[in-house]
């Protein structure tokens, strides 16, 4: 019988601890960088505005400036917080009947 020795236990646990510390630091840096906003927040905001406008029947009022008014009044919800301008842009596209730029698998 032949015994195979791996790395010493002390070295193994030291490397494992260092990896955990580095992963935690990387996660903290990502959270600090985006401040609870995902890196794709513009897409989320745009799609939120687009869907909101599609649900509303009075599209002429939306095109006349109601999208921006709704965003200012907080009617965009969490999605508008990510990128208010993108939310309004999506709302205007939905109100005008243009297809969403986020629609489909390939953009």
Confirm if 45 and 90 have CB atoms less than 8 A apart.
yes
pLDDT for position 75: 82
Number of structural domains found in the chain:
2
Residues in the chain where the model's pLDDT stays below 70:
1-4, 34-41, 57-61, 63, 102-107
- Residue 74's contacts (CB-CB under 8 Å, 6 or more residues apart) are 80
pLDDT for position 101: 72
pLDDT for position 59: 62
Work out the number of other CB atoms within 10 angstroms of the CB of residue 50.
Answer: 26
Mean pLDDT over the full length of the chain: 78
pLDDT for position 102: 63
Instruction: Tell me the C-alpha distance between 42 and 49, whole Å.
Output: 11
Q: Is the entire prediction scored with pTM above 0.75?
A: no
Domain match, 69 and 91 both: yes
Alpha helices by DSSP H, the chain: 9-34, 41-55, 59-61, 67-72, 77-82, 84-96
pLDDT for position 32: 78
Q: What is the DSSP letter of 63?
A: I
Confirm if 52 and 13 have CB atoms less than 8 A apart.
no
Domain match, 30 and 57 both: no
Domain for residue 3, yes or no? Answer: no
pLDDT for position 1: 63
Domain match, 20 and 33 both: yes
CA 32 to chain CA centroid, Å, is 15
């Amino acid at each position: 019988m032949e015994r195979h020795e791996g790395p010493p236990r002390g070295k193994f646990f030291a490397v494992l601890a260092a990896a955990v510390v580095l992963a935690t630091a990387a996660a903290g840096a990502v959270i600090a960088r985006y401040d609870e906003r995902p890196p794709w927040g513009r897409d989320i905001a745009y799609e939120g505005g687009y869907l909101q406008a599609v649900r509303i029947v009075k599209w002429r009022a939306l095109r006349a400036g109601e999208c921006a008014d709704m965003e200012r009044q907080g009617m965009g919800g969490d999605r508008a917080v990510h990128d208010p301008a993108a939310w309004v842009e999506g709302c205007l596209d939905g109100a005008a009947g243009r297809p969403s730029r986020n629609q489909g698998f390939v953009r």
